[in-house]
Chain A
């Protein structure tokens, strides 16, 4: 089998051609923080938290191919500063108030804030006021807690095949929608499979009525489902 050789954080590593930098790093036990990436889904490079340095350039490791001879750094001071700023901007853009959130304790955004040592948010909060959509019989979406990672959109399209979730508008008005942006409960294409709940990294899409202790997500679900498909 053809292999390539590259360096990550000074370690010499062999990999298969076509793998992303993130895949190679994970296969070798090198931790790179991610948010929009989810095993089993396509990668889109939306959140930019997985940035690494390649030849002095910051690139998202999930959508950048590992190439032969590359010298990759995953933990420089520059990277840390940028990752923390990206995280601060995500927090400032929504209303991520952990003490009021059912996902607290099981939230990937919260975990990242701890991991990246984000002690405070240094940019002004935008305090959005989106209406909570609780029209679906079992699930609800609080868009003020959405980080626009698009995991729900990709899971719905790539795994469930329903294409119910999508993105609407742009810039600071961008948001996830169901069908033609009407209420979720009215979305005819939704199969109510609940996979969007499991993959949502924050408390944006949750089970109705779930308490903090109950709202624990199974984000590995998609990896398990797609793995079985590959073996068909």
Chain B
């Protein structure tokens, strides 16, 4: 399992070994493989691409897209854009926190869910709205939040 991921990372590093300015591309693809960029992965990338470790970490920490903590099986993205804010996005965050015990940016202890807040997912007509992975759930209230979470908890 672990070796399978390592093989994929090594293949990525080989593919990009002669490419100019390969770091961001390699980090993207490595995050696809691992779901995040743990220190040992950053280390391998730095050493294989012959880029200083401090530079690799500088790039990883500069872009909010890159994660250094593992994320849960499911990503819950609560919209806190203007329309959702007006329609009580904060209450939805509270409900999720109550149900799963996590704040935006955190992952539940069982590793099932990661919560993040996002600015506008372009579904303002459905405010307040959240996404779980790629699926959108709109016009949220307490009942709907609980029912939706159950779909994933029991899956």
Could you tell me which A residues sit within 8 Å of B by CB distance? 153, 157, 163-170, 177-182, 189
Contact = CB atoms under 8 A, between A and B. Distances in A.
A163 B56 CA distance: 11
Given A180-B42, A180-B43, A182-B39, A169 B62 contact: yes
Contacts, number: 47
Given A168-B62, A170-B62, A181 B57 contact: yes
Nearest to A171: B62
Nearest to B64: A170
Given A180-B42, A180-B43, A182-B39, A169 B61 contact: yes
Interface string B16-47: 00000000000000000000000100110010
B54 interface: yes
5 contacts: A167-B58, A168-B57, A169-B61, A182-B39, A189-B52
A167 B57 CA distance: 8
A179 B58 CA distance: 9
State the 10 A-B residue pairs at the shortest beta-carbon distance, nearest first.
A166-B54, A163-B52, A168-B61, A179-B53, A180-B57, A166-B58, A169-B61, A181-B57, A167-B58, A180-B53
B55 interface: yes
Nearest to B51: A163
A178 B52 CA distance: 10
Contacts of A182: 39
A153 B57 CA distance: 14
A177 B62 contact: no
A180 B43 CA distance: 8
A121 to B, nearest CB: 29
B42, B56, B62 — most chain A CB neighbours (10 Å): B62
Contacts of A189: 52-54
A177 B54 contact: yes
A152 to B, nearest CB: 11
Contacts of A163: 52-55
A88 to B, nearest CB: 27
Contacts of B54: 153, 163-168, 177-180, 189
A166 B55 contact: yes
B52 A177 contact: no
B52 A166 contact: yes
A93 B57 CA distance: 23
A180 B56 contact: yes
Contacts of A179: 53-54, 57
Contacts of B55: 163, 166
Contacts of B53: 163, 166, 179-180, 189
Nearest to B57: A180
B62 A166 contact: no
Contacts of B61: 168-170, 181
A181 B52 CA distance: 12
A193 to B, nearest CB: 15
B34 to A, nearest CB: 15
A178 B39 CA distance: 13
